[in-house]
């Protein structure tokens, strides 16, 4: 039995998921999954996204987000490759690229260009995360063929069996999954699926309201072996320090970095790197 999404059928989340399903049906006609599987054979190699986030200091996952349902246009004309380069030079351990086209105005071209620009970044390139509403295994193959190291799996969009099955497919393809939760029930699903990388979203995807207490509350229920990331509403070093105290090892920052005059400087500030 399919787990219903948490609210009424007209919620923003349900509308996004319904549109993504239509998008995928159209894509399958143009580019069958069998073709994607052949493309993967020549796709660039991946790095372990979870390992890339591990370290002595909090890791920053810097996001490329052109727009959102709650904010509208944020930086609609941004060059994804140039922004990814700024993030890499600033010390981001990961780069999240929103690829949902209707509400977030993203694309897989953004992901591909970001991956290309950081390919030879030294000493270590950032891991590339595809952030989207993954509701079909087709999208997982699509992500790997486009150069992603990891994908986002939003528990609110899936049932427990899908979370486990999509995790296995992701790992079989040499990628990692950031499993996103926003409630105790979703944390339980992620735990039972043996998710090694869990993102606690401070934003409720039904209402798009942000509550920074969400991370601190749900972190208490997280499996000890999982690496925790805090998502949404993070804009200052004080926010990051607050989540560090809760056991978080990585934070995903989008809007604040997209609007920053110097994203690299803000990344260093968020990490708490001393000014020189």
The pLDDT score that the predictor gives to residue 1 is 32
Q: 206: pLDDT confidence band, cut at 50, 70 and 90?
A: confident
The pLDDT score that the predictor gives to residue 2 is 37
Residue whose C-alpha is closest to residue 53's, from 250, 238, 224, 269: 250
| Percentage of residues of the chain with pLDDT beyond 90 | 88
Say if residue 244's pLDDT is above 70: yes
The pLDDT score that the predictor gives to residue 163 is 98
Q: 276: pLDDT confidence band, cut at 50, 70 and 90?
A: very low
Q: What is the mean pLDDT of residues 256-264?
A: 95
Residues 62-105 have pLDDT tens digits of 999 999 988 899 999 999 999 999 999 999 999 999 999 999 99
The pLDDT score that the predictor gives to residue 122 is 84
| Distance between CA atoms of residues 201 and 46, nearest Å | 25
Give the chain's mean pLDDT.
Answer: 93
Residues 16-44 have pLDDT tens digits of 999 999 999 999 999 999 999 999 999 99
Triad 221, 197, 12: Cα angle to 5°: 80
Q: Look up the pTM and report it.
A: 0.93
Residues 141-196 have pLDDT tens digits of 999 999 999 999 999 999 999 999 999 999 999 999 999 999 999 999 999 999 99
CB 23 within 8 A of CB 142: no
Residue 123 has φ and ψ, to the nearest 5°, of -80, -25
Q: What is the mean pLDDT of residues 194-214?
A: 92
Q: 8: pLDDT confidence band, cut at 50, 70 and 90?
A: low
Structural domains in the chain, CATH included, are 12-271 (3.20.20.70)
Residue whose C-alpha is closest to residue 91's, from 54, 46, 121: 121
| Distance between CA atoms of residues 156 and 83, nearest Å | 29
Q: 7: pLDDT confidence band, cut at 50, 70 and 90?
A: very low
Say if residue 10's pLDDT is above 70: no
The pLDDT score that the predictor gives to residue 147 is 96
| Distance between CA atoms of residues 81 and 117, nearest Å | 6
Q: Which two tokens mark 238? A: 């004080």
Q: What is the mean pLDDT of residues 252-272?
A: 95
The pLDDT score that the predictor gives to residue 9 is 57
The DSSP call for residue 154 is E
CB 193 within 8 A of CB 163: yes
Q: 3: pLDDT confidence band, cut at 50, 70 and 90?
A: very low
């Amino acid at each position: 039995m399919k787990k219903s999404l948490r609210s009424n059928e007209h919620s923003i989340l349900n509308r996004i998921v319904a549109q993504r399903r239509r998008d995928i049906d159209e894509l399958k006609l143009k580019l069958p999954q069998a073709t994607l599987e052949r493309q993967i054979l020549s796709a660039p190699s991946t790095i372990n996204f979870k390992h890339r986030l591990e370290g002595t200091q909090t890791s920053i996952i810097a996001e490329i987000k052109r727009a959102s349902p709650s904010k509208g246009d944020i930086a609609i004309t941004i060059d994804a490759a140039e922004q990814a380069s700024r993030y890499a030079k600033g010390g981001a351990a990961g780069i999240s690229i929103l690829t949902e086209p209707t509400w977030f105005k993203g694309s897989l071209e953004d992901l591909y260009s970001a991956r290309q620009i950081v390919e030879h970044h030294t000493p270590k390139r950032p891991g590339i995360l595809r952030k989207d509403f993954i509701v079909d295994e087709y999208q997982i193959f699509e992500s790997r063929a486009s150069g992603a190291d990891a994908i986002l799996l939003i528990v609110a969009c899936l049932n427990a069996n899908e979370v486990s099955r999509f995790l296995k497919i992701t790992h079989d393809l040499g990628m990692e999954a950031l499993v996103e939760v926003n409630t105790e029930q979703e944390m339980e699903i992620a735990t039972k699926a043996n998710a090694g990388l869990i993102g606690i979203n401070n934003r409720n995807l039904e209402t798009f309201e942000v509550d920074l207490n969400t991370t601190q509350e749900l972190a208490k229920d997280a499996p000890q072996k999982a690496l925790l990331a805090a998502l949404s509403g993070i804009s200052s070093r004080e926010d990051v320090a607050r989540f560090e105290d809760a056991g978080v090892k990585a934070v995903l920052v989008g809007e604040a970095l997209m609007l920053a005059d110097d994203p690299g400087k803000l990344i260093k500030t968020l990490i708490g790197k001393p000014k020189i």
